[in-house]
Amino acid sequence: MHLDSCLVSKMEKYVALTRSEATFLADLEKEHWPIPAGKTILRVGETLRDLYVLKSGWALVRSRVSRGRSQILRIYLPGEIIGLVELGRSEALHSLQMHTKGVLCPFPRERMVDLYNSEPRLSALLTALGSLEQMAMREQIFSLSRRSAEDRLVEFLLSLQDRLHVANLAATSRFMVPFSQAQIGDVVGLTPVYVNRLLTKLRQEGRIEIERPYIRILDQDGMVNQVGFRSIYQRVDLDWFPSQAA
């Protein structure tokens, strides 16, 4: 199966798709919509009419501002579906914007109806992937409330590296972190000043190497050990759902 669909290739990493399933997914990427960096897709209170496949570029979900800063709640990478979380409510609680320039492939909510009606196994796969996200969010909640600032920063680097790895976007220990230090602070819940102090400290200790916008992790084992990092997105267990003949 070799369709030009980042969604299909992402899903195929998790399970073998039937012909029908693959064409259904590939079909979602029919329409292409190039977006400039920084463009806001959805504001708080608005309705997200369509869903999107993020074909290229990075997208961000942000909270409203509080004490002068907003929180980055979710980083979307190429191959992911945007808008699933907004399915349950018509007014958005959080805003959505492109972080880099990229391409969105919009498809109407009604396609989800078709999905549930005709592709039960794909529906279950989406649910299972959603459950992985919830696990990741639980880890983030744990991290924010129980970890030191340094541990939070280390975990951010490790989990971003891990996600880029799964998405085939990181070669080895070096990967792209297209964020200013202030934005990193918006992810891990720290001030720009303190992010800088911690990054400087990690660099001086020889644990990371910074060549913007790239970061290389030099002390992988030590860092994994320090925060007890566990990869979440590496694979999904869908063994409880019997695979169907094509």
Partner DNA sequence: CGATTGATTGAGTGTGCTCAAGACAGGTGG
Partner DNA sequence: CCACCTGTCTTGAGCACACTCAATCAATCG
For residue 218, state whether it binds its own copies (rule: CB under 8 A). no
Contact residue for its own copies among 116, 168, 201, 213 (CB under 8 A):
116
User: Binding partner of residue 40 among DNA, its own copies, none, CB under 5 to 8 Å per kind?
Assistant: none
Instruction: Please give the Cα distance from 81 to 54 (Å, whole number).
Output: 6
Size of the site for DNA (CB under 7 A): 19
Give phi and psi for 22, each to the nearest 5. -65, -45
Binding string, 10-39, against its own copies, x = CB under 8 A? ------------------------------
Residues in 165-194 that interact with its own copies by CB under 8 A = 188-189
Question: Which span sits near DNA by CB under 7 A: 14-22, 57-65, 101-109, 185-193?
Answer: 185-193
**Minimum Å distance from CB 186 to its own copies?**
9
For residue 138, state whether it binds DNA (rule: CB under 7 A). no
Inter-axis angle of helices 110-118 and 120-146, nearest 10:
120
53 vs 217 by CB, closer to DNA: 217
Q: Are 184 and 197 in contact (CB under 8 A)?
A: no
Measured between alpha carbons, how far is residue 222 from residues 144, 154, 206 in Å? 21, 10, 11
216 vs 241 by CB, closer to its own copies: 241
Measured between alpha carbons, how far is residue 83 from residues 52, 76, 97, 242 in Å? 7, 11, 12, 27
212 vs 230 by CB, closer to DNA: 212
52 vs 58 by CB, closer to DNA: 58
For residue 137, state whether it binds its own copies (rule: CB under 8 A). yes
Question: Which span sits near DNA by CB under 7 A: 26-34, 41-49, 99-107, 176-184?
Answer: 176-184
CA Rg value for the chain:
19
For residue 193, state whether it binds DNA (rule: CB under 7 A). yes
Nearest CA-CA partner of 126 in 81, 75, 92: 81
**Residue given tokens 């860092």 in the structure block:** 223
For residue 191, state whether it binds DNA (rule: CB under 7 A). yes
- Where on the chain is the footprint of DNA (CB under 7 A)? 67-68, 148-150, 180-182, 189-194, 196-197, 199-200, 212
Binding site for its own copies (CB under 8 A): 61, 63-64, 66-67, 69-71, 73-74, 84-90, 93-94, 109-110, 112-113, 116-117, 120-121, 123-124, 126-135, 137-142, 144-147, 188-189, 228, 230, 232, 236-242
